[in-house]
Amino acid sequence: MINIKEELFQIDPYSLKKNDKENIFFDHIKKLNAHHIKYCKGYKKIMNFNSYKNMQFNRISDYPFLPALIFKMHSLKSVKTDNSFKEIYSSGTSSNAKSKIYLDSLNSKNQIKVLNILFSKIIGKNRLPMIFAEQKPSEKEINSFNAKAAAIYGFSIFGNERLFLLNKNNEINYSELETFLKKNSNSKFIIFGFTSSIYNNLINKINSKKINFSMENAILIHGGGWKKLENKKISNRLFKKKLESKFKIKKIINYYGTVEQTGSIFFECKCGFFHTSTFSDVIIRNKNLEVENIGKEGLVQLISLLPTSYPGHNILTEDLGTIYGEDDCECGQKGKYFLINGRAKQAELRGCSDV
């Protein structure tokens, strides 16, 4: 059995400097690769096809990666089906293709531990009252465990009291919201939602005149859904400006993550960048799949220590991004800091089929 070194769970997740982190990652990714080759037939076949045994590995970037879209086409798991704890599905695309991710109890446990460590850096160690800017997931959604329901379920552990903003008719629960704010608005509380849901339900739909209590003590966490706002010309800066103007919410934190690498979440720092942690890393590659320099845009490659039940430890996403530095962000956190610039055009992904 392969697992993360226990000492990594005990240190600040943004404290490791470049050399120390590279040594840990190089060793662990080597072990993860061997683990998935041994236990995942599909992954072994891919590695053999690409002559994995003949490759030279001097840096983390030398290790082979999988295109994220492969999880839409193949079932890749490193656990026996009867030992699978959860199967998480991404939202469908226009082609109805969905990524299917297999999680066993160990993988799920580590995800929760890491999410707790990262989230505690934002809210502290105590659970807080929590508003979800969503409808409560139906039994069908919970049982099918799609990515949206999984995210709501995962973040819900940080709430000691939970309110879903929308009722079954997709209308604002004004009476319940009023009761919640009357009780909790004088101290910190969390608002969580997907970016498009925050925009639609909080910024657009809710009538602030019907609320008699302040939201200025809220910590608003949101992620995903930017694609739906592109046509509206809503940038991250304008998004925050609208929330601060309407509700006086000042602490607004965006996060980035993918269902294909569940558990590797990158939270936005006070300087506006996403940060890698002791459990994650990012590499940018150009259209020829060569490693790109700092400050250059390219395809985002994500590396994580978490995936043990499926070979998602090293994936090339369909996103474009730019790394702006490492260990020297003005926020004080160590690690690489980067931004996501949007979705890659199909032409930019054509080389992935050769990976």
pLDDT, tens digit (0-9, with 9 covering 90-100), for 30-82: 999 999 999 999 999 999 987 887 788 899 999 999 999 999 999 999 988 76
pTM over 0.95, yes/no = no
Q: Select the more confidently predicted residue: 347 or 99.
A: 99
pLDDT, tens digit (0-9, with 9 covering 90-100), for 134-159: 998 776 665 566 777 878 888 999 99
- pLDDT at 354 (0 to 100): 37
- Measuring CA to CA, which residue among 317, 331, 333, 319 is closest to residue 67? 317
Q: Does residue 100 register a pLDDT over 80?
A: yes
Nearest-angstrom CA–CA distance, 185 and 131: 11
Nearest-angstrom CA–CA distance, 260 and 89: 9
Q: Does residue 213 register a pLDDT over 50?
A: yes
Q: Select the more confidently predicted residue: 337 or 94.
A: 337
Contact between 301 and 282 under an 8 Å Cβ cutoff? The reply is yes
Q: Select the more confidently predicted residue: 128 or 344.
A: 128
Report which residue type is found at 197: S
For the segment 297-301, the average pLDDT, to the nearest whole number, is: 97
Lowest-confidence pick of 212-221, 254-263, 338-347: 338-347
For the segment 215-234, the average pLDDT, to the nearest whole number, is: 86
Q: pLDDT band for position 91 (50/70/90)?
A: low
Token pair belonging to 266: 């990158």
Nearest-angstrom CA–CA distance, 324 and 96: 35
Nearest-angstrom CA–CA distance, 270 and 331: 6
Q: Does residue 196 register a pLDDT over 80?
A: yes
Q: pLDDT band for position 93 (50/70/90)?
A: very low
Lowest-confidence pick of 78-87, 91-100, 168-177: 91-100
pLDDT, tens digit (0-9, with 9 covering 90-100), for 335-346: 999 999 988 876
Question: Going along 167-238, which residue ranges are E strands?
Answer: 189-194, 218-223
The residues that bridge with 67 in the sheet, in sequence order, are 316
Q: pLDDT band for position 89 (50/70/90)?
A: confident
- pLDDT at 122 (0 to 100): 94
Nearest-angstrom CA–CA distance, 146 and 96: 13
Contact between 166 and 158 under an 8 Å Cβ cutoff? The reply is no
- pLDDT at 321 (0 to 100): 97
- pLDDT at 229 (0 to 100): 82
- pLDDT at 348 (0 to 100): 46
For the segment 123-140, the average pLDDT, to the nearest whole number, is: 88
Domains, the chain: 6-86+260-354 (no CATH), 111-256 (3.40.50)
Q: pLDDT band for position 240 (50/70/90)?
A: very high
Q: Select the more confidently predicted residue: 351 or 20.
A: 20
How much is the mean pLDDT over the chain? Answer: 89
- pLDDT at 140 (0 to 100): 63
- pLDDT at 341 (0 to 100): 92
- pLDDT at 71 (0 to 100): 93
pLDDT, tens digit (0-9, with 9 covering 90-100), for 269-284: 999 999 999 999 999 9
Q: Does residue 244 register a pLDDT over 70?
A: yes
